[in-house]
Amino acid sequence: MMAKHTCEECGYSTSATGHFRRHMRKHTGEKSCEECGYKSDKRAYMSRHMKTHTGVKPYMCEKCGYRTADSSNLARHMKNHAGEKPYLCGECGYRTPRRSALSRHMRKHTGEKPYKCDQCAFSAAEKKVVDNHFMAKHTDDKPYMCGECGYRTADRSNLSRHMRKHTGEKPYKCNQCDYSAAQKVDLNQHVMAKHDGEKPYMCGECGYRTTCKSALSVHMRQHTGEKPYKCDQCDYSAAQRFHLDRHVAKHNIVGYTGN
C-alpha cells in the first residue's frame, strides 16, 4: 500500500490519515506534560493525562465506591449496575447488555482479526488494539508511565489496569458473595467456578480443570513451553502477559542490563 501522508519534520509516512494526525501531534502539540513529556494539542486529553500522575479520581460510583479519573470510565462502570445483561458468551461466561459488545468479545475465541496494521502484518479483533500496536511498535511514543515501577504504555487504559497491581483496587464485585477483582475476566471466571460449579475444560496432561477455555490455553504452556509474549528491547519471552509487563518495567530501571 502506497503511503499518502509524509511528515516533513522527520520523514515518517503512512497511508492512514488517523495515524498521521496522531504522529504530527509529536511535532505540533501545544501542551506538554512536565512529568513524562506527553504532548497533546487538546486540552481535554492533557487534563485526563495529568490525572494519571496526580492520582486524582473525582468520579465515584455511589453504588460500590469505585473511583476513576475519567467520567467516561465511570459511565462504562455504571453499566455493571444497570441490570439485565442478556447476551452471554458460552466460552467464558462474559455477559453484556449489548449484542455488538458480545460480537466483539467473541472474536477473542474465534480468532477473527478484521483490523490490519498498514505498516506490518499485525492484525487484531478490535480497532483500538491495532491503534495501540501502531503506537507501541511503529512510533517511539509511550506517553503513559507508572510512577511506581516505570512501566510505560501507549494506551491509557493499559496503564489504568496496570496501576491496580500497585493500588490493590478491585472495582469488579460479585453480586453473590464478597469477592472482588481488578479485572472483569477474573470476576467472570470466579462466578463460573464458585457459583455455577461446572469446569468443562480439562488438561489431558495432568487433569487440571477450569471454567474458561483461555485459562486452559494459558495452563497448557506449562507443558508445551510456548512463550508467545516477546520483549521488544531484548530476547526475553514469557508464557503470560503479566510476566512480560513485569520484565519490561525493569528496562526503565537505571543500570539494568539483564533479563
The pLDDT, as a whole number, for residue 108 is 81
The pLDDT, as a whole number, for residue 257 is 56
The SS3 call for residue 188 is: helix
- Going by C-alpha positions, the residue among 9, 32, 4 that lies closest to residue 19 is 4
The pLDDT, as a whole number, for residue 256 is 54
What number of residues does the chain have?
A: 259
Q: Does domain 31-81 have CATH number 3.30.160.60?
A: yes
The pLDDT, as a whole number, for residue 231 is 87
The pLDDT, as a whole number, for residue 148 is 78
For the chain, give every domain's residue range.
31-81
108 to each of 45, 114, 121, how far by Cα in Å? 29, 12, 18
The pLDDT, as a whole number, for residue 194 is 79
The pLDDT, as a whole number, for residue 30 is 57
- Going by C-alpha positions, the residue among 128, 118, 123, 170 that lies closest to residue 153 is 128
Contact between 3 and 14 under an 8 Å Cβ cutoff? The reply is yes
Cβ neighbourhood burial of 165 (10 Å; 0-12, 13-18, 19+): middle
pLDDT along the chain (259 residues), means of 10: 70 77 68 70 73 77 79 76 75 79 85 86 84 77 79 79 85 87 83 74 84 82 89 87 83 60
The pLDDT, as a whole number, for residue 41 is 67
